[in-house]
A and B are shown apart, each in its own frame.
Chain A
């Protein structure tokens, strides 16, 4: 026998991972999903999601909004009498409670006389605080002279309040104009229209952060799942179909090293897909936004701190997804059946990620323990610059735990003779029974 040395389990696993990567990178579907798709399909996805976000925001007609009214030189005790008509126009009484709820615009007066600058501060300063702690916080502010609506485009409720105020003011102004024209015996078109200007207090960077926060967390999950989908099937069910599963079992390595090597290879491709998609976004976002048919006054740039913070999250999440998909795909006997089996499984990851585009959900400690949702909310909070360091740490630890759990599941399944050498695909419903079985190899 030639002189040999015993490989350590880690070196063995890395050698297996290297071989599996070499093989996977020669598979066309894997290359497309891990490298080509993240770059080439990205602009289409970006545009579609952006449109989706805009539609979702436009449909928020059931949200209760508050409009602050501020004016210089109007004492507090004179508010109601001074603006009775305006109040009626902005918040008209309705006999239909549903209609009233759908268009709710609660009016609150500024506690004191304010100039424009103070009105800006009233809106901007309070917007950072929790609504429950600051009941008088307006979602938007109507400044009376000159008639101006102040709002934050980065806050969907603020947008809604602004839009409701603007449309009702326009209707009120039109009625006043008609009335005045009638009194003077003129055509309404002969009178100058009452102009209401709108001022967005959100900065370009803040607006860009909102767009990124709506897109990137979802992309992170989708690309990690897509990047690991084909390699997971290829290295398990595909290996059975090609008749190389037993060949792999003959190598003088513990089963745990072989399976860890496979999961590492799948994870590397998932991370590559994730990293490439983020890289492609950072390169093309500004260019894509400038190409949109509507003018979008936002600045897209991923904060460095978010990139650094996302690395451990993406690492553990990719490992978690890779191990979970590899474990599930190992139940299939052929590549095609593996694809069919993983179809519903991948949705288990992608659907919770949709939470990332629902406004208002925050990363709390309990949320940081829920897989998928935690990574989406954490990355979103990072992009928005929220300093939730405790929650970030809990998220990373929770993801590391879930990755370990999924790896244990893969090890359990791929050590079972009934899985390794099954001539037919085993249903997911038999998972528990398989795990309870005893026949396993080392």
Chain B
């Protein structure tokens, strides 16, 4: 019996940046992470903790300085194109082309993912209905509301039905209804067996959605486990207190010679 590769795995993943003012900045340090099929994994941390950098390395936007990141058993450094085929990525910085329509964007990504024309059209029509995009599908994206854009972005991310979905602070900037739609969408992907890795600094989101939570601060993964396991580990009841306890504990142990990540 062969072992199924994990949807997401990182091994001693590191990323450093050269900053003209601050020198070498360690954004991510020796990060080891594993996400399973059908799991919602939340990466929880304050701003500048290294969440976005980690997700960008997994999605091949950034190259790791050292260590490895794998998606579905494929190393990002070996075959980034195959990794991009296997995941859907969504963040606040993955905007929509303002002068194209929603339909054109979906067709464009579909063609680049190699969907044949007949299959592509059927898939686009399906997504237009699934995410209620049809009423504004042929208008330019620059004229869409934030909520409408978010729906088009989600459709773009899942167009090729990826087994892995990576979402970077997916509810940031959304109004209550759009954020609620996003949370429903993440839950629906779990039911479809997709592995979802998402970052957030909103504790209630993590508490509500995640099977497991990884707490990250200053580029280091401080703890991983279910909410219950983290409660036991820290002896705290509320996630805010759990998070604070882990960060304080790590702060007292952290080496002083490494500049923090931005």
Contact = CB atoms under 8 A, between A and B. Distances in A.
Interface of A: 1-7, 12, 15-16, 19, 22-23, 26-27, 242-247, 249-254, 417-418, 421, 437, 439-442
A252 B80 CA distance: 8
A23 B97 contact: yes
B116 interface: yes
B116 A22 contact: no
Contacts of B113: 4, 251-252
B61 A249 contact: yes
Nearest to A5: B114
B39 to A, nearest CB: 18
Nearest to A19: B108
Contacts of A252: 81-82, 84-85, 112-114
Contacts of B65: 439
B144 interface: no
Contact of A4 (B56, B80, B115): B115
21 contacts: A2-B115, A2-B161, A6-B114, A7-B112, A15-B108, A22-B99, A23-B100, A26-B99, A243-B95, A244-B96, A246-B56, A247-B96, A249-B61, A250-B84, A251-B109, A252-B84, A253-B112, A421-B61, A439-B63, A442-B60, A442-B80
A255 B98 CA distance: 22
Interface stretch (B41-49, B86-94, B181-189, B241-249): B86-94
Would you call the interface of chain A mostly helix, strand, loop, or mixed?
loop
A418 B19 CA distance: 10
Interface string B111-142: 11111100100010000000000000000100
A27 B97 CA distance: 12
B95 A4 contact: no
Most A CB atoms within 10 A — which of B84, B95, B112, B123?
B112
B199 interface: no
Given A250-B94, A254-B81, A2 B160 contact: yes
Nearest to B107: A19
B163 A3 contact: no
Contacts of B140: 26
Interface string B51-76: 00000100111110100000000000
A441 B95 contact: no
B207 interface: no
Interface of B: 18, 56, 59-63, 65, 80-82, 84-85, 89, 91-100, 104, 108-109, 111-116, 119, 123, 140, 156, 160-163
Contacts of B99: 22-23, 26-27
Contacts of A3: 115-116, 119
Contacts of B95: 242-244, 247
B112 A5 contact: no
A246 B61 contact: yes
A271 B206 CA distance: 53
A253 B61 CA distance: 12
B142 to A, nearest CB: 9
B157 to A, nearest CB: 8
Given A19-B108, A244-B96, A244-B97, A250 B59 contact: yes
Nearest to B123: A2
A249 to B, nearest CB: 5
Contact of A246 (B18, B94, B100): B94
Given A7-B112, A252-B81, A254-B81, A1 B161 contact: yes
Contacts of A4: 85, 113-115, 160
A2 B116 CA distance: 10
A411 to B, nearest CB: 16
Contacts of A16: 112
B112 A417 contact: no
Nearest to B83: A252
B63 A417 contact: yes
A330 B65 CA distance: 23
A12 B162 CA distance: 20
Most B CB atoms within 10 A — which of A22, A27, A252?
A252
B104 A22 contact: yes
B108 to A, nearest CB: 5
B116 A5 contact: yes
Contacts of A26: 99, 140
Nearest to B85: A252
Nearest to A437: B18
Given A1-B163, A244-B95, A19 B100 contact: yes
Given A244-B96, A247-B96, A250-B94, 20 more contacts: A2-B161, A16-B112, A22-B104, A23-B97, A23-B99, A245-B93, A247-B156, A250-B59, A250-B61, A250-B84, A252-B81, A252-B84, A254-B81, A421-B61, A437-B18, A439-B65, A440-B63, A441-B61, A441-B80, A442-B80
Contacts of A437: 18
Contacts of B96: 244, 247
B84 A247 contact: no
B85 to A, nearest CB: 5
